């Protein structure tokens, strides 16, 4: 809740108790920011309360309006003006109040919540490099983590790396057959890309064999499912499982290449983990829990020996948990991992950042955990996000339309460089500093592009057009910040530094833009809170964009260091610049975006 709303609610309480006791409660009041076309800061919607009181909205509004007129804030009238328009009470609060409110609301909650959350994200396979889909996942995971931290929680970041299975065997086999000993060192290829190359190579060979056999008269299904290279890969998986030393050694070295590649990508993205889980270690987990559940009658066993959870009562299907041969399936492992992790970290909440194609899987998983009697299952949350599509539809590795994460970052950074490499403003920067800057700007464009969209929704990425550095973008917000920094630098150079700014006070007269800037600043904490509770970074994106836009307008409307500006206004405007810069930088930080001082 914003400071202004909180203040009004609190101070309207006496009126409510006195006049409307029993009929109206403070929570029945609905406030919203006043729309642009009307004058006012905050608006009380009159319809709801009026209805509860069986009153005319106008009458209720007028009585409230008069009461508000009697309120004071630190010895001065709280309300500057107010008017009722069509069932809305528009209230302008005093500049004096805004001076207080923006300081109050623009800082994160000071106290630690004591809550510990676990966020699982990224969770790649080790047979190919990361792509745009992973980027969305990772950025969401990092952003919700930071949001939680900003809201006062402790966060544990983890990922589960799918390092075993037929997919990695395919890469390994193809490398053995066609690789001629190629390594990242020998070829200069990034490790994950090298392994991905052999995954593709496998597929090419597999298709070749399939076609060859189809031409030989075999039916398509058999040709594909019994192609020699696939059989070899399956044999390799069996060898891996029993621990054949050669296979294990190759597996370790190829996975090692992939991890060093992933590390580079994560470093550029600014993502990190407190703990990695490897499926090669966790895939055996969960079996015991399932058997235990079976013994307790939570699950049922079919005649063929397979074990099932019957979820039909909850509107879902029956779900197999153990195969008839007693081995685990995917969800078995997830059950085991969740339980293990809860033991290890004892968190208050677990969030899984996973694409919405697994919505059903997580419904089942949480329900099964609940049936097993784990009360914390109700605090598990699937942060489901939509796919990133291309204009042509879904990315398909078969058709080579997958947007590679590293390539994409390179392109964004190159676009940032193209835009301003020869800009006069950056003349004094060294080449090294420019490189850092263009990285910051390019990555900001990419991250903001992803994060500004509601996670739940599918989004479309245009390879050419989406590389945008103007308008509703990350660089726009960075730019507002850099602008403010430039003013502050200049001020400092003429002797108005931070210590002087600390003495800034409200001038006798302020412009609308200055007031709006204070109002926007006052909404920071509320924005963090909303983004955090809804696990939706796009809300914070919108907030930061609005703040940046407002600062740009302020910058345009309110000259600061010019002679005609009075001393008190100059000081105040510098102070507002400092505050805007601070909150912009903080917002960007939570979103995982850097805020350069000049650009």
Interface positions, 75-104, toward RNA (CB under 7 A): 85-88, 90
> For residue 555, what are its two tokens?
């910058």
| Total residues interacting with RNA, rule: CB under 7 A | 96
479 binds RNA (CB under 7 A): yes
Considering the complex, state which of residue 183 and residue 542 has its C-beta at the smaller distance from RNA. Answer: 542
Per CB under 7 A, contacts with RNA among 252-271 are none
CB 553 within 8 A of CB 541: no
306/300 Cα distance (integer angstroms): 8
Q: How far is the CB of 512 from RNA (least distance, A)?
A: 11
- Determine the Cα–Cα distance for residues 561 and 553; give it in Å rounded to an integer: 16
Q: With respect to RNA, which residue has the nearer C-beta, 90 or 148?
A: 90
Using the rule CB under 7 A, is 462 a contact of RNA?
Answer: yes
For the bound state, the minimum distance from the C-beta of residue 209 to RNA, rounded and expressed in Å, comes to: 20
Q: How far is the CB of 219 from RNA (least distance, A)?
A: 18
Between 512-521 and 567-590, two packed helices, what is the crossing angle to 10 degrees? 30
Which of 72, 358 has the CB closer to RNA?
358
Q: Binding string, 338-367, against RNA, x = CB under 7 A?
A: ------------------xxxxxx------
Question: For residues 189 and 181, what is the distance between their CA atoms, to the nearest angstrom?
Answer: 13
- The residue within the footprint of RNA, chosen from 135, 143, 338, 539 (CB under 7 A), is 539
Which CB sits closer to RNA, 65 or 452? 452
Cβ 465 to RNA shortest distance, Å:
6
Give the whole-angstrom CA distance, residue 453 versus residue 473: 12
Residue 320 touches RNA, criterion: CB under 7 A: yes
- HEC secondary structure over 434-497: HHHHHHHHHHHHHHHHHHCCCCCCCEECCCCCCCCCCCCCHHHHHHHHHHHHHHHHHHHHCCCC
Q: DSSP characters for 153-165?
A: -EEEEEEEEB--S
CB 260 within 8 A of CB 191: yes
For residue 360, the tally of other CB atoms under 10 A from its CB is 12
Site for RNA contains 396 (CB under 7 A): no
User: Could you tell me the smallest distance in angstroms from the CB atom of residue 496 to RNA?
Assistant: 11
Q: Are strands 116-120 and 30-33 parallel, antiparallel or unpaired?
A: unpaired
Is-contact 488 570, C-beta < 8 A? no
Q: How many Å apart are CA 78 and CA 73, to the nearest integer? A: 5
CB-wise, 296 or 425, nearer to RNA?
425
Q: Among all chains, which residue has been given the structure tokens 């994409």?
A: 408
Query: Binding mask 220-259 vs RNA (x if CB under 7 A, - otherwise)?
Result: ----------------------------------------
Position 55 contacts RNA (CB under 7 A): no
Contacting RNA (CB under 7 A), which of 70, 267, 456, 566? Answer: 456
The DSSP bridge pattern shows strands 349-355 and 116-120 to be parallel
| Contact with RNA (CB under 7 A) among 71, 291, 329, 390 | 329
How far is Cα 366 from Cα 349, in angstroms, rounded to an integer? 12
* The Cα angle at residue 251 between residues 245 and 252, in degrees rounded to 5: 90
Q: Which of 78, 237, 269, 485 binds RNA (CB under 7 A)?
A: 485
**Can residue 304 be called a binding residue for RNA (CB under 7 A)?**
yes
Nearest to 121 by CA among 231, 275, 305, 340: 275
For residue 308, the number of C-alpha atoms closer than 13 Å in the C-beta half-sphere is: 14
Pick the closer one to RNA by CB: 227 or 437.
437
**For helices 245-269 and 228-242, what crossing angle results, to 10°?**
90
Contacting RNA within 191-220 (CB under 7 A): none
Q: Does residue 317 interact with RNA by CB under 7 A?
A: yes
Instruction: Name which of 88 and 299 has its Cβ closer to RNA.
Output: 88
Q: What is the DSSP string of 31-61?
A: EEEPPTTSS-SEEEE-HHHHHHTT--HHHHH
Q: Least distance (Å) from RNA to the CB of residue 430?
A: 15
Rounded least distance, CB 355 to RNA, Å: 8
Determine the Cα–Cα distance for residues 371 and 309; give it in Å rounded to an integer. Answer: 9
The contacts of residue 177 (CB under 8 Å, 6+ apart) are 205, 229
Give the residue, chosen from 274, 292, 302, 410, that forms a contact with RNA under the rule CB under 7 A. Answer: 302
- Quick one: 216 or 471, whose CB is closer to RNA? 471
Q: Which of 311, 460, 500, 506 binds RNA (CB under 7 A)?
A: 460
Rounded least distance, CB 597 to RNA, Å: 6
Site string for RNA, 413-442 (x = CB under 7 A): ---x--xx--x-x-----------x---x-
Q: Which is nearer to RNA, 116 or 553 (CB)?
A: 553
Least distance between RNA and beta carbon 526 (Å): 11
Nearest to RNA of 34, 347 (CB atom):
34
- Evaluate whether 426 touches 499 at the Cβ level (below 8 Å): no
Q: Which one, 30 or 112, has the nearer CB to RNA?
A: 30
Residues 137-176 that bind RNA (CB under 7 A): 162, 165
Interface with RNA, residue 558, by CB under 7 A: yes
Angle, alpha carbons 314-317-322 (nearest 5°): 115
Straight-line distance from the first to the last Cα atom of the chain, in angstroms, rounded to the nearest whole number:
34
Interface mask (CB under 7 A) for RNA, residues 32-51, using x and -?
x-xxxxx-x--x-x-xx--x
Selected binder of RNA within 268, 552, 568, 582 (CB under 7 A): 552
Element (H, E) at 382: strand 380-385
The smaller minimum CB distance to RNA, of residues 253 and 324, is found at: 324
457 binds RNA (CB under 7 A): yes
Element (H, E) at 349: strand 349-355
- Residue among 190 and 555 whose Cβ is closer to RNA: 555
Judged by beta carbon, residue 155 or residue 412, the one nearer RNA is 412
Going 63 to 69 to 72 to 75, the CA torsion angle's sign is negative
Contact string 567-586 vs RNA (x = CB under 7 A): --------------------
Q: Taking contact as CB under 7 A, which single stretch among the options 182-190, 250-258, 373-381, 484-492 is the one that binds RNA?
A: 484-492
CB of 428 vs RNA, minimal distance in Å: 11
């Amino acid at each position: 809740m914003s400071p202004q709303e909180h203040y009004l609610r609190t101070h309207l309480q006496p009126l409510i108790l006195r006049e409307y006791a029993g009929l109206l409660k403070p929570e029945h009041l609905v406030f919203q920011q006043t729309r642009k076309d009307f004058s006012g800061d905050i608006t009380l919607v009159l319809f709801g309360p009026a209805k509860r009181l069986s009153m005319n909205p106008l009458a209720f509004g007028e009585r409230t309006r008069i009461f508000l007129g009697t309120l004071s804030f630190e010895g001065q009238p709280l309300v500057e003006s107010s008017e009722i328009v069509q069932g809305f009470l528009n209230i302008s609060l005093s500049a004096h109040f805004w001076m207080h409110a923006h300081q109050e609301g623009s800082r994160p909650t000071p106290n630690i919540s004591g809550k510990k959350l676990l966020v699982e994200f990224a969770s790649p396979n080790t047979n190919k490099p990361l792509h745009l889909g992973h980027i969305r996942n990772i950025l969401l995971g990092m952003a919700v983590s930071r949001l939680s931290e900003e809201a006062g929680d402790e966060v544990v970041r983890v990922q589960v790396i799918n390092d075993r299975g037929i997919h990695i065997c395919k890469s390994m086999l193809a490398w053995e057959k066609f690789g001629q000993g190629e390594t990242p060192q020998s070829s200069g290829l990034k490790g994950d890309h090298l392994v991905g190359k052999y995954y593709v190579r496998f597929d090419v060979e597999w298709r070749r064999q399939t076609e060859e056999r189809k031409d030989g008269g075999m039916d398509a299904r058999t040709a594909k499912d019994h192609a020699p290279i696939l059989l070899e890969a399956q044999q390799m998986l069996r060898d891996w499982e029993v621990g054949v030393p050669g296979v294990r050694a190759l597996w370790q070295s190829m996975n090692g290449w992939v991890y060093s590649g992933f590390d580079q990508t994560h470093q550029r993205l600014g993502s990190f983990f407190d703990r990695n889980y490897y499926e090669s270690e966790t895939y055996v987990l969960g079996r015991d829990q399932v058997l235990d559940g079976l013994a307790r009658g939570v699950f049922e066993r079919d005649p063929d020996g397979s074990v099932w959870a019957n979820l039909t009562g909850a509107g879902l299907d029956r779900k197999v948990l153990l195969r008839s041969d007693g081995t685990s399936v995917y969800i078995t492992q997830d059950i085991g991992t969740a339980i293990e992790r809860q033991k290890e970290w004892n968190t208050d909440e677990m969030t899984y950042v996973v694409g919405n194609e697994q919505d059903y899987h997580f419904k089942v998983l949480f329900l099964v955990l609940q049936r097993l009697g784990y009360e914390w299952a109700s605090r598990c949350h699937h942060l489901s996000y939509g796919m990133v599509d291309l204009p042509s539809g879904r990315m398909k590795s078969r058709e080579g339309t997958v947007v590679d994460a590293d390539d994409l970052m390179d392109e964004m950074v190159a676009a940032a460089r193209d835009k301003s490499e020869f800009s006069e403003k950056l003349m004094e920067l060294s080449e090294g500093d420019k490189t850092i800057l263009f990285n910051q700007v390019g990555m900001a464009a990419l991250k903001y592009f992803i994060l500004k969209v509601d996670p739940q929704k599918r989004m479309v990425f245009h390879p050419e057009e989406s590389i945008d550095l103007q308008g509703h973008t990350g660089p726009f917000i960075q730019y507002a910040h850099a602008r403010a920094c430039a003013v502050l630098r200049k001020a400092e150079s003429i002797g108005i530094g931070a210590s002087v700014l600390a003495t800034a006070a409200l001038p006798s007269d302020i412009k609308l833009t200055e007031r709006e800037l204070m109002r926007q600043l006052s909404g920071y904490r509320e924005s963090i809170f909303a983004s955090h509770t809804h696990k939706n970074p796009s809300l914070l994106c919108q907030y930061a964009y609005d703040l940046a836009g407002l600062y740009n307008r302020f910058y345009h409307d309110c000259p600061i260091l010019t002679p005609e500006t009075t001393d008190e206004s100059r000081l105040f405007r510098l102070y507002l610049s400092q505050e805007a810069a601070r909150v912009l930088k903080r917002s960007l930080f939570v979103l995982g975006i850097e805020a350069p001082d000049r650009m």
